[in-house]
A and B are shown apart, each in its own frame.
Chain A
């Protein structure tokens, strides 16, 4: 459960996030919006990766600016867009870092969780390969596996579909949807692809100019009228086989 109250973040003189107050409950929540809407910055604020210029963020009732980062790491895992590893590390070693907040991958339980995460992301065949030898998609999945190995209730992902081809993108979204449904996780995911958000998300938060433009179910947010205003372009929304399909231009 995530509650933000008047969260504000400046980048120099521009307000990247401007007094955002949202409640995000269990399930898969997608944050959408045009470039520069403040989606990634909001995610970084919730994940205590940047300092807030105003407002509060509560994760499971814990104030992220007041709680020790170590305690937070057992409740919340966060993954940003740029994931380069400056050191030589195998996939298994990277995923094992997910156990760091729990005292490292020492016990059999820890190792089982790591193996589980590696398997869930389909990385068994490359688990002993070095991260810098992998394709962009494999690397992306390795980082998601690390975040999953943290065994947190809350998972924040910033554009995790970057570098993934349709097969792995669909697999990952299904996996996240399954985790949200079965384990009751709160998963927040910044997405560029509205079609993916419409297909997989339980709730959608649409942002523009640092503010929340609309928040609600897929049916409430994915409408031609609203998306047209949000992205300032022509758009049609059709229902095809029970799904909402977005047609741009």
Chain B
């Protein structure tokens, strides 16, 4: 892509370059991590640091997963207001989780290694999502609006199914499920941190060779094929990566609907639509919002559990704003 002619002063132009902006976001994210780790350290610093380190790593994994998966989904569906959450990706994962609890029971569940369990759930979810989208996109060749509608309906239906299944559970199992279905950025599962982190990074790295194809894909199906993008292969690759990332973040912190919307749109307005810039920017903005927000809420205002509520509120407000101002595409 050619550089746009510099109109502003050289310094301002340099600062508006995507690479410079990503570097600034990186510095801000690093600062947020440092503040979160080091602010108000109690006397026995080792223990607190270890605990905080785990939380901060978990939030980083979630930020990467949510930011990247939302940008990918918005490219594949050619719009700016959808997230994997709205399209029902995490509803599929939750249904698998709750069905699992119902089928094998809480006692066995507590006995099984969470990593093994998550691995099975991940494979199931990725399989279902890929099959569903292969069917919708490639076999039936449905119009994009119809696919979005199908996604919305599936998401709503599965959330209802999950709620219904919870009513069938005994109190023990119900308590296990309650932990799964509410987003919480602080109660991060220690055992899942490594496998989810590795898979999210792997999914992210796998995207690198198709970044430029994704740029062209954003121009729409016909134009992308005309430019020589292997449309089917790139779309399915993106869908698999989205499935893996959503399974990772949902397992770590629970479902998030609008958080991705917030970070993806912030990334577009800061660094533009090239995926080599927008995906890292979305991940970094996610890290700044999560870790910075958690620092402010926990250390500054003294209440630790409200961050998901605040973020989902802001994301939901942005969603309405985007719909009302017509900037949905």
Give B305-329 as 1s and 0s: 1 = Cβ < 8 Å from A's Cβ atoms: 0000000000000000000000001
The answer on a CB contact under 8 Å between A88 and B228 is no
The answer on a CB contact under 8 Å between A105 and B220 is no
B291 at the interface (CB under 8 A from A): no
B57 at the interface (CB under 8 A from A): no
The answer on a CB contact under 8 Å between A83 and B218 is no
User: In the docked arrangement, what's the CA distance between A77 and B225, Å?
Assistant: 10
Name the B residues within 8 Å of A44 (CB-CB).
Answer: 222
Tell me how far the C-beta of A115 lies from the nearest C-beta in chain B, rounded to whole angstroms.
Answer: 9
Give A184-207 as 1s and 0s: 1 = Cβ < 8 Å from B's Cβ atoms: 000000000000000000000000
A96 at the interface (CB under 8 A from B): yes
- What total of A-B pairs shows CB separation below 8 Å? 80
Stretch binding the partner chain, chosen from B1-9, B35-43, B237-245, B251-259:
B1-9
Whose C-beta in chain A lies nearest to the C-beta of B328? A86
The answer on a CB contact under 8 Å between A86 and B78 is yes
The answer on a CB contact under 8 Å between B219 and A72 is no
Name the B residues within 8 Å of A47 (CB-CB).
Answer: 226
Whose C-beta in chain B lies nearest to the C-beta of A48? B225
The answer on a CB contact under 8 Å between A86 and B230 is no
The answer on a CB contact under 8 Å between A88 and B226 is no
Say yes or no: A77-B226 contact (C-beta < 8 A), given A97-B216, A128-B4: yes
User: Considering residues B216, B219, B225, B273, which has the most beta carbons from chain A within 10 angstroms of its beta carbon?
Assistant: B219
22 A-B pairs whose Cβ atoms sit less than 8 Å apart in the complex: A44-B222, A69-B231, A70-B230, A71-B228, A73-B226, A73-B227, A74-B228, A77-B226, A79-B226, A80-B223, A84-B329, A86-B80, A86-B329, A87-B218, A88-B272, A92-B2, A93-B2, A98-B227, A100-B212, A100-B229, A104-B1, A150-B227
Query: What residues make up the interface of A, taking CB atoms closer than 8 Å to B?
Result: 44, 47-49, 68-74, 77-80, 83-90, 92-94, 96-98, 100-101, 104-105, 111, 114, 128, 143, 147, 150
